[in-house]
Amino acid sequence: MKASPNHRKALLLLYAVILTLVVGVCLFFSTTAIGSFLGEHFLLTRETATITAQKDPLLILVNRKHPLPEDYAPPLTEVYGVQVHEAVRSPLTELFAAAKRDGVALTVHSAYRSRAEQQAELDEKIGVYREKGMFPFFARKKAEQEVQRPGESEHQTGLALDLGGDADTDTEKAQQWLFDHAAEYGFILRYPAGKDKITGITYEPWHYRFVGIGAARAITNAGITLEEFTEETDR
Protein backbone atom coordinates (compact mmCIF):
# COMPACT_ATOMS: atom_id res chain seq x y z
CA MET A 1 0.00 0.00 0.00
CA LYS A 2 1.32 3.39 -0.99
CA ALA A 3 1.40 6.07 1.73
CA SER A 4 -0.84 9.04 1.03
CA PRO A 5 0.70 12.58 1.18
CA ASN A 6 -1.09 13.07 4.49
CA HIS A 7 0.49 9.91 5.89
CA ARG A 8 3.91 11.06 4.76
CA LYS A 9 3.40 14.43 6.41
CA ALA A 10 2.37 12.75 9.65
CA LEU A 11 5.42 10.45 9.48
CA LEU A 12 7.76 13.38 8.87
CA LEU A 13 6.25 15.22 11.81
CA LEU A 14 6.71 12.13 14.01
CA TYR A 15 10.37 11.84 12.93
CA ALA A 16 10.89 15.54 13.70
CA VAL A 17 9.38 15.13 17.16
CA ILE A 18 11.51 12.04 17.92
CA LEU A 19 14.67 13.75 16.65
CA THR A 20 13.96 16.83 18.80
CA LEU A 21 13.42 14.65 21.85
CA VAL A 22 16.61 12.64 21.27
CA VAL A 23 18.72 15.76 20.70
CA GLY A 24 17.13 17.43 23.75
CA VAL A 25 17.82 14.46 26.03
CA CYS A 26 21.42 14.20 24.71
CA LEU A 27 22.01 17.91 25.31
CA PHE A 28 20.51 17.71 28.78
CA PHE A 29 22.75 14.82 29.82
CA SER A 30 25.86 16.19 28.17
CA THR A 31 25.52 19.57 29.89
CA THR A 32 24.79 18.02 33.30
CA ALA A 33 27.70 15.59 32.81
CA ILE A 34 30.04 18.42 31.83
CA GLY A 35 28.63 20.53 34.63
CA SER A 36 29.26 17.95 37.33
CA PHE A 37 32.65 17.14 35.82
CA LEU A 38 33.66 20.74 36.25
CA GLY A 39 32.08 20.84 39.69
CA GLU A 40 29.89 23.78 38.79
CA HIS A 41 26.19 22.94 39.43
CA PHE A 42 25.45 26.65 39.21
CA LEU A 43 21.65 26.59 39.11
CA LEU A 44 21.14 23.86 41.70
CA THR A 45 23.70 25.00 44.22
CA ARG A 46 22.81 28.65 44.05
CA GLU A 47 19.33 27.62 45.06
CA THR A 48 20.68 25.46 47.88
CA ALA A 49 22.81 28.32 49.18
CA THR A 50 19.78 30.58 49.24
CA ILE A 51 17.63 28.05 51.08
CA THR A 52 20.30 27.57 53.75
CA ALA A 53 20.73 31.31 54.03
CA GLN A 54 16.99 31.86 54.40
CA LYS A 55 16.88 29.46 57.34
CA ASP A 56 19.68 31.22 59.16
CA PRO A 57 21.76 33.78 57.27
CA LEU A 58 24.68 33.13 59.60
CA LEU A 59 24.86 29.52 58.40
CA ILE A 60 25.25 30.42 54.73
CA LEU A 61 27.47 27.83 53.08
CA VAL A 62 29.92 29.20 50.55
CA ASN A 63 32.30 26.95 48.66
CA ARG A 64 33.11 25.84 45.13
CA LYS A 65 29.83 23.98 44.86
CA HIS A 66 27.82 26.75 46.53
CA PRO A 67 28.79 30.08 44.94
CA LEU A 68 27.22 33.30 46.14
CA PRO A 69 24.78 35.09 43.81
CA GLU A 70 26.52 37.87 41.87
CA ASP A 71 24.46 40.56 43.60
CA TYR A 72 25.15 39.25 47.11
CA ALA A 73 25.91 42.16 49.43
CA PRO A 74 26.19 41.53 53.18
CA PRO A 75 25.44 44.22 55.77
CA LEU A 76 28.88 45.53 56.73
CA THR A 77 30.39 47.44 59.61
CA GLU A 78 33.92 48.38 60.58
CA VAL A 79 35.91 47.07 63.54
CA TYR A 80 39.67 46.86 64.20
CA GLY A 81 40.22 48.71 60.92
CA VAL A 82 38.55 46.03 58.78
CA GLN A 83 35.07 45.47 57.37
CA VAL A 84 32.99 42.60 58.76
CA HIS A 85 29.36 41.43 58.66
CA GLU A 86 27.49 43.45 61.26
CA ALA A 87 26.59 40.26 63.17
CA VAL A 88 30.31 39.67 63.74
CA ARG A 89 31.20 42.98 65.32
CA SER A 90 30.26 42.43 68.96
CA PRO A 91 31.17 38.70 69.19
CA LEU A 92 34.56 39.60 67.70
CA THR A 93 35.23 42.33 70.27
CA GLU A 94 34.23 39.87 73.03
CA LEU A 95 36.57 37.27 71.58
CA PHE A 96 39.45 39.75 71.47
CA ALA A 97 38.74 40.93 75.03
CA ALA A 98 38.67 37.35 76.37
CA ALA A 99 41.96 36.57 74.61
CA LYS A 100 43.52 39.70 76.08
CA ARG A 101 42.46 38.62 79.59
CA ASP A 102 44.42 35.41 78.95
CA GLY A 103 47.45 37.38 77.78
CA VAL A 104 46.89 36.73 74.09
CA ALA A 105 46.78 39.66 71.67
CA LEU A 106 44.88 38.80 68.49
CA THR A 107 45.03 40.50 65.09
CA VAL A 108 42.70 40.31 62.09
CA HIS A 109 44.81 39.64 59.02
CA SER A 110 41.90 39.50 56.59
CA ALA A 111 38.13 39.97 56.88
CA TYR A 112 35.54 41.04 54.30
CA ARG A 113 36.61 40.95 50.68
CA SER A 114 34.41 42.16 47.82
CA ARG A 115 33.92 40.13 44.67
CA ALA A 116 36.29 42.49 42.84
CA GLU A 117 38.96 42.16 45.55
CA GLN A 118 38.66 38.38 45.40
CA GLN A 119 39.05 38.53 41.61
CA ALA A 120 42.11 40.78 41.98
CA GLU A 121 43.67 38.36 44.46
CA LEU A 122 43.10 35.44 42.11
CA ASP A 123 44.45 37.38 39.11
CA GLU A 124 47.56 38.29 41.09
CA LYS A 125 48.17 34.62 41.91
CA ILE A 126 47.65 33.63 38.27
CA GLY A 127 50.18 36.32 37.34
CA VAL A 128 52.75 34.78 39.70
CA TYR A 129 52.47 31.41 37.95
CA ARG A 130 52.42 32.98 34.48
CA GLU A 131 55.69 34.74 35.31
CA LYS A 132 57.15 31.37 36.25
CA GLY A 133 56.42 30.35 32.64
CA MET A 134 53.24 28.33 33.13
CA PHE A 135 50.64 28.22 30.35
CA PRO A 136 47.55 30.34 31.11
CA PHE A 137 45.30 27.30 31.63
CA PHE A 138 47.66 25.61 34.10
CA ALA A 139 48.54 28.89 35.83
CA ARG A 140 44.83 29.46 36.43
CA LYS A 141 44.23 25.90 37.69
CA LYS A 142 47.17 26.13 40.09
CA ALA A 143 46.13 29.58 41.35
CA GLU A 144 42.56 28.38 41.93
CA GLN A 145 43.87 25.70 44.27
CA GLU A 146 45.22 28.44 46.52
CA VAL A 147 42.85 31.36 46.02
CA GLN A 148 39.09 30.89 45.78
CA ARG A 149 37.27 32.11 42.70
CA PRO A 150 35.00 35.18 43.05
CA GLY A 151 31.69 34.15 44.61
CA GLU A 152 33.23 31.04 46.14
CA SER A 153 35.13 32.64 49.02
CA GLU A 154 33.30 33.03 52.31
CA HIS A 155 35.37 36.17 52.94
CA GLN A 156 32.75 37.79 50.65
CA THR A 157 30.12 37.25 53.38
CA GLY A 158 32.05 39.28 55.96
CA LEU A 159 31.56 36.32 58.31
CA ALA A 160 35.07 34.90 57.77
CA LEU A 161 38.24 36.13 59.40
CA ASP A 162 41.89 35.23 59.15
CA LEU A 163 43.19 35.57 62.70
CA GLY A 164 46.61 35.45 64.30
CA GLY A 165 48.79 36.96 66.97
CA ASP A 166 50.36 40.40 66.98
CA ALA A 167 53.94 41.49 67.71
CA ASP A 168 53.62 40.36 71.36
CA THR A 169 51.78 37.12 70.69
CA ASP A 170 53.22 34.57 68.31
CA THR A 171 51.02 32.88 65.74
CA GLU A 172 51.13 29.47 67.37
CA LYS A 173 50.04 30.79 70.77
CA ALA A 174 47.18 32.77 69.20
CA GLN A 175 46.07 29.78 67.15
CA GLN A 176 46.08 27.49 70.18
CA TRP A 177 44.02 29.96 72.20
CA LEU A 178 41.50 30.31 69.36
CA PHE A 179 41.38 26.57 68.93
CA ASP A 180 40.35 26.26 72.62
CA HIS A 181 37.99 29.23 72.92
CA ALA A 182 36.65 30.49 69.56
CA ALA A 183 33.45 28.38 69.70
CA GLU A 184 32.44 30.04 73.00
CA TYR A 185 32.05 33.26 71.00
CA GLY A 186 30.38 31.72 67.95
CA PHE A 187 33.40 31.12 65.71
CA ILE A 188 34.50 27.83 64.14
CA LEU A 189 37.81 26.72 62.67
CA ARG A 190 36.44 26.48 59.15
CA TYR A 191 39.05 24.30 57.44
CA PRO A 192 40.27 21.77 59.99
CA ALA A 193 43.06 19.27 59.34
CA GLY A 194 41.98 16.09 57.59
CA LYS A 195 38.69 17.54 56.32
CA ASP A 196 39.87 18.86 52.96
CA LYS A 197 37.92 16.17 51.08
CA ILE A 198 34.74 17.70 52.53
CA THR A 199 35.61 21.40 52.56
CA GLY A 200 37.72 21.36 49.39
CA ILE A 201 40.38 23.38 51.21
CA THR A 202 43.47 22.15 53.03
CA TYR A 203 44.07 22.89 56.73
CA GLU A 204 43.99 26.61 57.50
CA PRO A 205 44.69 27.14 61.23
CA TRP A 206 44.02 30.90 60.85
CA HIS A 207 40.66 30.94 59.06
CA TYR A 208 37.66 31.33 61.37
CA ARG A 209 34.01 31.69 60.47
CA PHE A 210 31.22 33.18 62.54
CA VAL A 211 28.13 30.95 62.71
CA GLY A 212 26.62 31.95 66.09
CA ILE A 213 27.30 30.40 69.48
CA GLY A 214 24.82 27.48 69.30
CA ALA A 215 26.01 26.26 65.90
CA ALA A 216 29.68 26.89 66.74
CA ARG A 217 29.46 24.75 69.89
CA ALA A 218 27.58 21.98 68.09
CA ILE A 219 30.02 21.93 65.15
CA THR A 220 33.15 22.09 67.32
CA ASN A 221 31.97 19.47 69.84
CA ALA A 222 30.99 17.07 67.06
CA GLY A 223 34.29 17.68 65.24
CA ILE A 224 32.45 18.30 61.98
CA THR A 225 32.54 20.95 59.25
CA LEU A 226 29.96 23.54 58.19
CA GLU A 227 29.32 21.39 55.10
CA GLU A 228 28.36 18.41 57.29
CA PHE A 229 26.39 20.56 59.72
CA THR A 230 24.24 22.31 57.10
CA GLU A 231 23.64 18.98 55.36
CA GLU A 232 22.30 17.61 58.64
CA THR A 233 20.16 20.64 59.48
CA ASP A 234 18.81 20.88 55.90
CA ARG A 235 17.39 17.37 56.16
Answer for the pair 59, 226: CB distance below 8 angstroms, yes or no: yes
Nearer to Zn ion, 144 or 162 (CB): 162
Question: Order of strands, edge to edge, in the sheet holding 160-165?
Answer: 106-110, 160-165, 207-210, 187-189
Nearer to Zn ion, 157 or 230 (CB): 157
Nearest distance, CB of residue 133 and Zn ion, angstroms: 29
Q: Tell me 67's DSSP state.
A: P
Q: Is 204 a catalytic residue?
A: yes
Task: Please report, as a single letter, which amino acid is at residue 150.
Answer: P
Here's the x/- map for Zn ion, 68-107, by CB under 5 A: it reads as ----------------------------------------
Answer for the pair 196, 202: CB distance below 8 angstroms, yes or no: yes
Does 162 contact Zn ion by CB under 5 A? yes
What is the C-alpha separation between 189 and 162, in angstroms, rounded?
A: 10
Nearer to Zn ion, 30 or 202 (CB): 202
H or E segment at 174?
helix 171-181
**Maximum separation of any 2 CA atoms in the chain, in Å:** 98
Here's the x/- map for Zn ion, 195-214, by CB under 5 A: it reads as ------------x-------
**Among 59, 32, 60, residue whose Cα is nearest residue 46:** 60
Strand partners of residue 209: 160, 188
Q: Which stretch binds Zn ion (CB under 5 A): 35-43, 94-102, 160-168, 173-181?
A: 160-168
Nearest distance, CB of residue 202 and Zn ion, angstroms: 12
Q: Which of 40, 86, 117, 204 is labelled catalytic? A: 204
Q: Which residue is nearest to Zn ion (CB)?
A: 207
Nearer to Zn ion, 44 or 114 (CB): 114
What is the C-alpha separation between 12 and 90, in angstroms, rounded?
A: 70
Nearer to Zn ion, 44 or 179 (CB): 179
Nearest distance, CB of residue 117 and Zn ion, angstroms: 13
Where along the sequence are the contacts to Zn ion (CB under 5 A)?
162, 207
Catalytic center residues: 204
